[in-house]
Amino acid sequence: MDRIVIIGAGLAGSLLAINLAKRGETVDVYESRGDMRAGNAARGRSINMALSDRGIAALREVGMDEYMLDAAIPMHGRMIHTPGGDTILLPYSGRKGEYINSISRSGLNAALMTEAEKYAGVSIHFNEQLTGCDPESGELDFASGSTLKSELVFAADGAGSAVRQALDANVADFVSRSEFLEHGYKELVIPPGEDGSFLIEKNALHIWPRHKFMMIALPNLDGSFTCTLFLAHDTAEDSDEPSFSKLIDEAKLIAFFEREFADALPLMPTLAEDFFANPTGMLGTVHCSPWHANGRVLLLGDAAHAMVPFYGQGMNCAFEDVRTINALLSERPASVSGWVDWRSIFAAFERERMPNAAAIQSMAIENFYEMRDKVADPVFQRKRALETHLEQTYDDYFSKYSMVTFREDVPYSEAKRRGNLQDELLMRLCSEAAESSEIDAEAAIASVRRL
Ligand SMILES: Cc1cc2nc3c(=O)[nH]c(=O)nc-3n(C[C@H](O)[C@H](O)[C@H](O)COP(=O)(O)OP(=O)(O)OC[C@H]3O[C@@H](n4cnc5c(N)ncnc54)[C@H](O)[C@@H]3O)c2cc1C
């Protein structure tokens, strides 16, 4: 039996601790922050998130899917807010029961930690920030001054992973690169109505697409919406392009919202306060390789493959990583003496997950341009209408979005490959027709099947 260390009690780290403890392993989790259950949740850091089928499948394996879905709000489609103040609902799928769920990040993380701590083998050590990791000796250093040695380290310490940085410094063939978008994000809020009601449609993910920037809003159980403004950090002084660096005072901020988000502005009484108090986050993609060192250290979740949030898949993908580890452990069980061949499990994990992580990372960037530019485009709207019709009519049609979001049995890389071929074909048909009703659905599905 190995004594296992997990760095990070975030979403992936806590779920992994539960899975390993269920197998009888002893797990020590080291978390840099204090215990969020005592009210330490960070301000302005994606308060709610979209949970979909891959994540739900991972929660199901530890018996937490129904419990978490009870605390979530279904979102059936994207509600587009046009500059003129009109709204259009674009359903996520033509099938009943295919929707995404708005869930509280801290609520989910806290529930996972509480579940992990039900196992005698799990200890979570808070306020322990890892500062060094030697993959040769297994020595781990913490900012508190404590050190320890471990045979097995799972790095679930997020996008800025200290373990990844240590591998970069200590492992000869390790390569790591982070690519940042020129856009950042800021969290804002639409509070509930006086009676706790939802002031805009509750069961939708709201989008205000404005080509070079956009705002989105996801519902919370208390009737509020968490809005996220995605905007360039900086734009040329002499250009009209807005950016965070130009919104330097309340007057400029309000004028920007009056011009661009006129229907949302009256619903945001604390806009200026939130805007100037909340941090502006960075949006980046992390590429690194290999994900494991010496059969002792494994990177997973954002530590291995952080992505931009535009497909709503970072957490879902991190949860799928944990599912994969679980499946590999079932395929290669421990020997009678309790010995597990972690080296081969780590190698198999990387083989399976790396191409899939790369696929969802690139689709997430593409989706940024889709949400910001294309959802407002009539050809794209015709394509969504056609896809909804195809999904309602033909059991074997799944859009790229549906394959990524609702088909946990289709790997991300396959969803990307098939989805891109379908998208190209359907966009061509829709650009040739003035109305989606003019498109022959039978001919379209026949062409899709030929792909
Ligand atoms: C604005 C935004 C919106 C998003 N929306 C969605 C969404 O809708 N759906 C979705 O699926 N994903 C979404 N994501 C992505 C999602 O947040 C991440 O993919 C997910 O949190 C990854 O989980 P993780 O456990 O790998 O990392 P994290 O959740 O970041 O957890 C890492 C943990 O490690 C701890 N830690 C960090 N450094 C150290 C250290 N040195 N020592 C010890 N502990 C450490 C941290 O405190 C944290 O608890 C969004 C991301 C952003 C930025």
Domain limit, last residue, from 348, 370, 392: 370
pLDDT at 185: 97
Whether residue 223 sits in one domain with residue 358 = no
How far apart (Å, rounded) are the C-alpha atoms in residues 260 and 437?
32
Q: Are strands 100-104 and 3-7 parallel, antiparallel or unpaired?
A: unpaired
| Residue 261 covered by a domain | yes
- What span, in angstroms and rounded, lies between the C-alpha atoms of 325 and 61? 12
* 159 CA distance to ligand 1 middle (Å): 7
Give the total number of structural domains in the chain.
3
Assess whether 276 and 293 both reside in one domain: no
Question: What's the pLDDT band for 2 if we cut at 50, 70, 90?
Answer: low
Q: How far is the CA of 385 from the centre of ligand 1 (A)?
A: 34
Give the mean pLDDT of the chain: 94
Strand 100-104 relative to strand 73-75: parallel, antiparallel, unpaired?
antiparallel
Instruction: Tell me: do 216 and 260 sit in the same domain.
Output: yes
Ligand 1 and 130: CB distance under 6 A: yes
Residue 100 pLDDT exceeds 70: yes
Q: Does 263 map to a domain?
A: yes
End-to-end CA distance of the chain: 49
CA-based nearest residue to 229, from 251, 257, 248, 202 = 257
Boundary residue ending a domain (242, 259, 281): 281
Does any ligand 1 atom lie closer than 6 A to the CB of residue 33?
yes
Assess if residue 25 is contained within a domain. Answer: yes
Residue 253 maps to a domain:
yes
Is residue 174 located within the same domain as residue 40? yes
pLDDT (mean) for 181-205: 96
Cβ–Cβ < 8 Å for 297, 303: no
Helix axes 412-432, 342-372, angle to 10 degrees: 20
Residue 79 in any domain: the answer is: no
Separation between Cα atoms, residue 68 and residue 58, nearest integer Å: 12
pLDDT tens digit sequence for 10-54: 999 999 999 999 999 999 999 999 999 987 555 545 589 999 999
Residues 289 and 164 in one domain: yes
Looking at the fold, whether 255 and 128 belong to one and the same domain comes out as no
Q: Does 166 share its domain with 305?
A: yes
Judgement on whether residues 121 and 252 belong to the same structural domain of the protein: no
- What was the pLDDT predicted at 132? 97
Q: Is residue 173 located within the same domain as residue 185?
A: no
Tokens encoding 159: 């996008």
Residue 49, ligand 1, Cβ within 6 A? yes
Same domain, 146 and 39: yes
Pocket test for ligand 1, best of 100, 157, 408 (most atoms within 8 A of CB): 157
Task: Kindly indicate the confidence band of residue 437, based on its pLDDT and cuts at 50, 70 and 90.
Answer: confident
Query: Is 152 a member of any domain?
Result: yes
Percentage of the chain surpassing pLDDT 70? 98
Q: Tell me: the pLDDT tens digits for 43-92? A: 545 589 999 999 999 999 999 999 999 999 999 999 999 999 999 998 99
Nearest Cα neighbor of 300 from 149, 158, 151 is 158
Mutate to test the pocket of ligand 1, among 5, 11, 286, 360 (most ligand atoms within 8 A of CB): 11
HEC per residue, the chain: CCEEEEECCCHHHHHHHHHHHHCCCEEEEECCCCCHHHCCCCCCCCCEEEECHHHHHHHHHCCCHHHHHHCCEEECEEEEECCCCCEEEEECCCCCCCCEEEEEHHHHHHHHHHHHCCCCCEEEECCCCEEEEECCCCEEEECCCCEEECCEEEECCCCCCHHHHHHHHHCCCCEEEEEEEEEEEEEEEECCCCCCCCCCCCCCEEEEECCCCEEEEEECCCCCEEEEEEEECCCCCCCCCCCHHHCCCHHHHHHHHHHHCCCCHHHCCCHHHHHHHCCCEEEEEEEEECCEECCCEEECCHHHHCCCHHHCCHHHHHHHHHHHHHHHHHHCCCCCCCCCCHHHHHHHHHHHHHHHHHHHHHHHHHHHHHHHCHHHCHHHHHHHHHHHHHHHHCCCCCCHHHHHHHCCCCCHHHHHHHHHHHHHHHHHHHHHCCCHHHCCHHHHHHHHHHC
Q: How far is the CA of 302 from the centre of ligand 1 (A)?
A: 6
What is the C-alpha separation between 381 and 204, in angstroms, rounded?
17
Mean pLDDT of 319-344: 91
- Residue 331 in any domain: the answer is yes
Which of 46, 218, 324 gets mutated to test ligand 1 (max ligand atoms within 8 A of its CB)?
46
What's the whole-number mean pLDDT along residues 296-320? Answer: 97
Domain end among 325, 344, 370: 370
When pLDDT is cut at 50, 70 and 90, the band that residue 373 belongs to is confident
CATH number of the domain bearing residue 303: 3.50.50.60
Tell me, yes or no, whether 18 lies in a domain: yes
Do 19 and 165 belong to one domain?
yes
> Do 336 and 207 fall within a single domain?
no
Confidence of residue 376 (pLDDT cuts 50, 70, 90): confident
Residue 259 domain boundaries: 181-281
Is residue 229 lining ligand 1, measured as CB closer than 6 Å?
Answer: no
